[in-house]
């Protein structure tokens, strides 16, 4: 059946509508959403789910039934994208990935403005689409001497 998809974690088949979508980029391949059932999400929590999603994306150990490519990408996970879909993606981004200098945290007001502007673009895009509720995953990791890497991803 076309509507049946599988949870990335427990691999249980469910109707696509009942699965939570967690955005990810698969290596240098397609952007899209991994599918997670509500049971796994509740049992493991958001942090563990994101760890597993990132591990699956990096390792490539997932099945196409556990992944929804972004609108406009081919079902075979090719690199061709529809120009209209790319314009829609630019109008409403689903992620932020920025490297921050080590000194970025000394001026808290500037850092607050950065966070507000970065997250506002993500949330405003979802608001314009009519999305009533979203899950926002964020991380801040050390990148050694280069500073810190800030990431924010939207989940549906």
Q: How far apart are CA 95 and CA 108, in angstroms?
A: 23
Q: Are residues 153 and 100 in the same domain?
A: yes
Q: Are residues 58 and 131 in the same domain?
A: no
- Which residue, 60, 58, 32, 36, is CA-closest to 46? 36
> 100-155, pLDDT tens digit by residue?
887 877 888 888 888 888 888 788 777 777 666 778 888 888 888 888 888 888 87
Q: Are residues 119 and 154 in the same domain?
A: yes
Q: Are residues 98 and 69 in the same domain?
A: no
Q: Are residues 97 and 86 in the same domain?
A: no
For the chain, how many structural domains are there in total? 2
Q: Are residues 107 and 82 in the same domain?
A: no
What's this model's pTM, rounded to 2 decimal places? 0.45
> 21-64, pLDDT tens digit by residue?
888 766 556 677 888 888 888 898 888 988 888 888 877 778 88
Give the residue numbers spanning the domain of 9: 1-91
Tokens 């991994």, located at residue: 34
């Amino acid at each position: 059946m076309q509507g049946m998809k599988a949870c990335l974690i427990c691999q249980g088949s469910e109707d696509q509508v009942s699965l939570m979508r967690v955005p990810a980029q698969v290596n240098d391949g397609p952007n899209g959403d991994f599918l997670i059932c509500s049971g796994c999400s509740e049992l493991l929590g958001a942090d563990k789910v994101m760890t597993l999603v990132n591990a699956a994306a990096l390792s490539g150990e997932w099945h196409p039934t556990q992944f929804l490519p972004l609108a406009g990408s081919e079902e075979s996970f090719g690199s061709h994208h529809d120009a209209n879909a790319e314009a829609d993606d630019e109008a409403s981004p689903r992620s932020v990935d920025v490297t921050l200098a080590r000194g970025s945290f000394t001026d808290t007001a500037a850092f607050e403005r950065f966070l507000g502007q970065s997250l506002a673009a993500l949330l405003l895009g979802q608001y314009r689409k009519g999305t009533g509720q979203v899950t926002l995953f964020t991380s801040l990791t050390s990148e050694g001497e280069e500073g810190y890497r800030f990431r924010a991803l939207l989940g549906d």
